[in-house]
Structure 1
Amino acid sequence: MITVWGGQTSRSLRVVWLLEEMGLPYRIRHVDMLSAEKDPAWLAVNPGDFLPAIQDGEVAMVESVAILEYLMGRYGPTPLQPSPGDPAFPAYQQFLHLGEAGLATLIMVPLVSGFIAPEAERDNWGARWARECVGRRQLLVRRQLQAAPYMAGETFTAADISVSYALRLGANHAGFALSGAEQDYLARTTARDAYKRAFARSHEGVPG
């Protein structure tokens, strides 16, 4: 049984979404990142104390996109991951990683500044720079959506799990504006039954 360590709005949603798409059994262990007292079992899995992480037998992994690649490689093949010879593979690979490295990681700077920093420090140079960087990377997403309904072309893949999470994070928690095409794209990806199940499972047993 795969154990997913996660939180209500964390990147663990990517992992749970993929597990639902692939029909793999799993359980969720919630982690309260704001708690001063950390679960020793959690810190044994990831002493860095950041989400998400998984345990799969003797394997423990962190970093959401790396976890997606591990699960697809170990339990695939799956249509969520085009083969290297597939014409869709380059776009798939690019957007799988852009969803985290180019979008979600940068989105965290203004998000954290807005929620945690003292009032006078929220509109800081780093947060403004990160917003500009995200805006430029959204141009790549928008260009792709002019050509195809999904990040790798005509078919939904794990790249869409990666990018969809980032766009929702930015729009819902950091005030990023989405174009009409991006909004339509999120409507398509989050209408999937696997996403709905993943979202519901990720919120089970969470107070509030």
Structure 2
Amino acid sequence: MITLHHCPQTRSMRTLWLLNEMEVEFQVRTYAFDRSLRDPAYLSLSPAGRVPALEIDGERMFETGAITEYLCERFSPERLGRMPGVPDRMAWLVWLHFAETISQHTAALTQQHVALREDHMRSPIVMKLEAARIGKCYDALEARLSTPVENRDYLLTSGFSAVDISVGQAVYMARFFAKLDKHPAVAEWYERITDRESFAESLPQGEGIYDRDFYEPWPVD
């Protein structure tokens, strides 16, 4: 049995979406976004106290990129993964890990807007810089998705894969802080991939981290 340790609206949603897409048998243990992740029992699964953590065949895994690579190699090497030797292997690896480039900026903004509860703790400079950096990530995606290549409905020419899930989940989080208005190709791609049932099944069933749909660079009344 596979057990996913998960907090709604965090990077672990990436693994949940992937597992739903694979249609493998698994169970989810859900945690609040709080100090419960510092419990010694949880730290034995994820030493930095982060989600996701994955238990499989008596072993443990953490780090979404590693989890994605392993699950694709084992359960979906051709449909969701791209194994060594296939033409899209290099691009698959690049975009898989680009998800973390986006997520680091979203994490900084989540800290500013959500974790720091008083305005005097927050930095308007950090908020504006990190939102702008997400915009630069959108620029990279826009360039990729607007390239006049046959079948450019997804990040890879060979079709939908785990990189659309990884980057798509990162964009799902980033959209709380930076809109897609100026990136039409990204918006079309995002709408396409989030129309999948596996995405809907990965959304929070109740409250998540965020209490609104969009956060301005500086808190407003």
- TM-score higher than 0.5: yes
Amino acid at match of 2:171: L
Aligned position for 2:128: 128
Aligned position for 1:152: 156
SS at match of 1:115: helix
Query: Which residue, out of 173, 182, 189, partners 2:186?
Result: 182
> Alpha-carbon deviations, 1:99-119, whole Å to 9, x = none?
11x101122112211122231
Amino acid at match of 1:77: P
Offset at residue 90 of structure 1 (A): 2.4
Amino acid at match of 2:106: I
Q: Which runs of 5+ in 1 are unaligned?
A: none
Say if 2:168 and 2:193, in contact at 8 Å, map to a contact too: yes
Query: Which residue, out of 183, 187, 205, partners 1:203?
Result: 205
Q: Which runs of 5+ in 2 are unaligned?
A: 209-221
Amino acid at match of 1:185: W
> Alpha-carbon deviations, 1:167-195, whole Å to 9, x = none?
110113xx211123222211111111222
Identity %: 26
Say if 2:37 and 2:50, in contact at 8 Å, map to a contact too: no
Matched pairs, number: 202
Say if 1:190 and 1:196, in contact at 8 Å, map to a contact too: yes
Query: Which residue, out of 192, 195, 220, partners 1:191?
Result: 195
SS at match of 2:166: helix
Say if 1:110 and 1:128, in contact at 8 Å, map to a contact too: no
Work out the CA distance in 2 between the residues paired with 1:162 and 1:205: 22
Work out the CA distance in 2 between the residues paired with 1:145 and 1:123: 33
SS at match of 1:74: helix
Offset at residue 27 of structure 1 (A): 0.2
> Alpha-carbon deviations, 1:7-39, whole Å to 9, x = none?
111222111111122221100001122246855
Work out the CA distance in 2 between the residues paired with 1:198 and 1:33: 16
User: Which structure has more helix as a fraction of its residues?
Assistant: 1
Alignment of 1:28-39 (within 5 A): 28-35=28-35, 39=39
1:37/1:195 CA distance change after superposition, 3 Å: closer
Aligned position for 2:170: 166
Aligned position for 2:213: none
CA RMSD, Structure 1 to Structure 2 (Å): 2.4
Amino acid at match of 1:176: A
Say if 1:22 and 1:78, in contact at 8 Å, map to a contact too: no
Aligned position for 2:89: 89
Offset at residue 50 of structure 1 (A): 0.9
Work out the CA distance in 2 between the residues paired with 1:36 and 1:64: 20
Aligned position for 2:110: 111
Work out the CA distance in 2 between the residues paired with 1:181 and 1:49: 36
Offset at residue 159 of structure 1 (A): 0.7
Work out the CA distance in 1 between the residues paired with 2:78 and 2:27: 21
Work out the CA distance in 2 between the residues paired with 1:165 and 1:142: 16
